[in-house]
A = this chain, B = another copy of it.
């Protein structure tokens, strides 16, 4: 690799990322489902173009800010998959003038606020809790569904939406199938309660969408992390290490031979502090950068992290082979949070990839 790197830099393999996208596009197509990938993982207009080249025209985001950014970058069909935030109603209204926008509703209060404060035409999904216990209407409360029909003719109920957050753990295909089937059953039940055959069922999470092949029971698929994947998804079994499309290139700044440690420039402000609790390399997978990308390095582990420092523990040979000023690669634990922390990415070919910036 002949990239100009002087500080922690998130490198994206366009090839791997495009393969990940193609595979998921194909799964959605074969299942007869619309593909509305979640763009919160990359937050990048440039990476978004790779999706567009595979025929993707609808996207999911997790904030009004992200929706605004992608609307300014040519995306005009956007679902904000986060509970409707009444305090952002003005921005939502402005956005709905320019794009086909969907928001998420899970209470009468929120729907009432939307009806009263957003005059523009938009769609909304009802969030169903399909087992995660975070947001959405639980089956015990399905009687509220009939009250979530809009009183404002500009606001069209589009369907029911679920996210299997409880699939983010070590998972095999049988377990994934069970999570998917249970989720779909709840979404179907909610749709039936609403009594409208035209409503769509929107489903999505990276683990089940990665492990399973067919999603014929749903109308829309919304996975996100799969575009990059990461070390925790590999640990869970959603992908193999070879599918991970991002690598943080980190300068080596110190060596401590007596304790077999290497200090890299790369810490919580670059990776976030998500960790894999039961892994011997809890802060990411160590890789060696090569002329065409990277290769897993089995003789070193990423064991400690502070704000800017990363500490790798390695074999005698590993430590002896590394010099201060070298660059070591790390496949991040959680690519969404690592990507969020960057101002931009770098492709393996040296192209700067633009990203939403925090104002």
Choose the segment among A44-52, A193-201, A302-310 that binds chain B (4+ C-beta atoms closer than 8 Å). A302-310
Choose the segment among A13-21, A84-92, A147-155 that binds chain B (4+ C-beta atoms closer than 8 Å). A84-92
CA distance A307 to B308 in the complex (A): 21
Task: Indicate if A82 sits at the interface (CB-CB under 8 A).
Answer: yes
Beta-carbon contact of A311 and B134 below 8 Å: yes
Mask of A66-94 contacts with B, CB within 8 angstroms, 1/0: 00000000000000001111111001000
Task: Indicate if A97 sits at the interface (CB-CB under 8 A).
Answer: no
Pick from B64, B254, B307, B311: contact of A62, CB below 8 A: B307
- Contacts of A325 on B, CB cut-off 8 Å? 86-87, 109, 113
Beta-carbon contact of A358 and B337 below 8 Å: no
- Contacts of A323 on B, CB cut-off 8 Å? 109
Beta-carbon contact of A85 and B253 below 8 Å: yes
Pick from B64, B110, B272, B309: contact of A268, CB below 8 A: B272
Mask of A24-56 contacts with B, CB within 8 angstroms, 1/0: 000000000000000010000000000000000
Q: Quick one: closest B residue to A308, CB to CB? A: B62
Most-contacted residue by chain B among A254, A273, A327, A342 (CB, 10 A): A254
CA distance A254 to B85 in the complex (A): 9
How far does the Cβ of A227 sit from chain B's closest Cβ, in whole Å? 15
Beta-carbon contact of A87 and B7 below 8 Å: yes
CA distance A68 to B256 in the complex (A): 29
Task: Indicate if A317 sits at the interface (CB-CB under 8 A).
Answer: no
Question: Which 7 A-B pairs give the minimum distances between C-beta atoms?
Answer: A343-B358, A86-B325, A83-B253, A6-B87, A343-B359, A83-B254, A87-B251
A-B contact pairs, 13 of them (CB 8 A): A6-B88, A7-B65, A82-B253, A85-B251, A86-B251, A86-B325, A106-B254, A107-B254, A134-B304, A134-B306, A135-B254, A135-B256, A273-B274
CA distance A5 to B307 in the complex (A): 28
Task: Indicate if A181 sits at the interface (CB-CB under 8 A).
Answer: no
With known contacts A263-B134, A323-B109, A357-B358, A7–B272 Cβ distance under 8 A: no
Task: Indicate if A96 sits at the interface (CB-CB under 8 A).
Answer: no
Interface residue tally for chain A (C-beta within 8 Å): 62
- Contacts of A141 on B, CB cut-off 8 Å? 258
Beta-carbon contact of B324 and A336 below 8 Å: no
How far does the Cβ of A283 sit from chain B's closest Cβ, in whole Å? 12
Task: Indicate if A341 sits at the interface (CB-CB under 8 A).
Answer: yes
Task: Indicate if A269 sits at the interface (CB-CB under 8 A).
Answer: yes
Beta-carbon contact of A113 and B324 below 8 Å: yes
Task: Indicate if A340 sits at the interface (CB-CB under 8 A).
Answer: yes
Most-contacted residue by chain B among A65, A85, A258, A344 (CB, 10 A): A85
How far does the Cβ of A102 sit from chain B's closest Cβ, in whole Å? 16
Beta-carbon contact of A107 and B324 below 8 Å: yes
- Contacts of A83 on B, CB cut-off 8 Å? 253-254, 263, 265
CA distance A5 to B304 in the complex (A): 36
Q: Quick one: closest B residue to A112, CB to CB? A: B324
